[in-house]
Amino acid sequence: MQSTTLRRNIFQRLFGICATKQPSDEGCWTFKNGKIVVDLARVPELVRVNGAIRLEAKNLPERILVIQGDDGQYNAFQNRCTHAKRRLDPMPGAQQVQCCSIMKSIFDYKGKYVSGPAKGDIQIYPVIVDNGKLVITL
């Protein structure tokens, strides 16, 4: 059984260092006309349940967290906690994501606020799988 505890030490929490990394293959995704397209064949991080990547770039209007959820479905979130804008990480087994800061605000897969000092919900984005590609509409 998977744990819902996200292991982050006190320093990682203090400095807001999230567990989720940017994809190892930087060229695995593009952003054009409001759509992010991720080539799943180039993202080993997403082949397993609770695998995750974060997408960040100057031309991207928002930081995005992409996870393969507990249910095997892909989910895309605004990667910005509504408390103090820290990044989020998946919480294996809980169908939730958690802020990497000390205060650990939690949101569900629909972006709804669950707990912590966050001031509200986070944005989620529709994701479809099309011919081996993830298409995320911002």
Enumerate binding residues for ligand FES (CB under 6 A). Answer: 81, 83-84, 86, 99, 101, 103, 105, 116-118
CB of 89 to ligand FES, least distance (A): 11
C-beta of 54 vs 86, nearer to ligand FES: 86
How many Å apart are CA 8 and CA 137, to the nearest integer? 30
Q: State in angstroms the smallest separation of the CB of 5 from ligand FES.
A: 17
The least CB distance from residue 98 to ligand FES, in Å, is 9
Segments of the chain assigned E as strands: 29-32, 35-39, 52-55, 64-68, 74-78, 88-91, 96-99, 106-108, 113-115, 124-125, 127-130, 133-137
27: three-class secondary structure by DSSP:
helix
Beta carbon nearer to ligand FES, 75 or 101: 101
Backbone angles phi, psi at 90, to 5 degrees: -70, 155
Of 28 and 65, the one with the shorter C-beta distance to ligand FES is 65
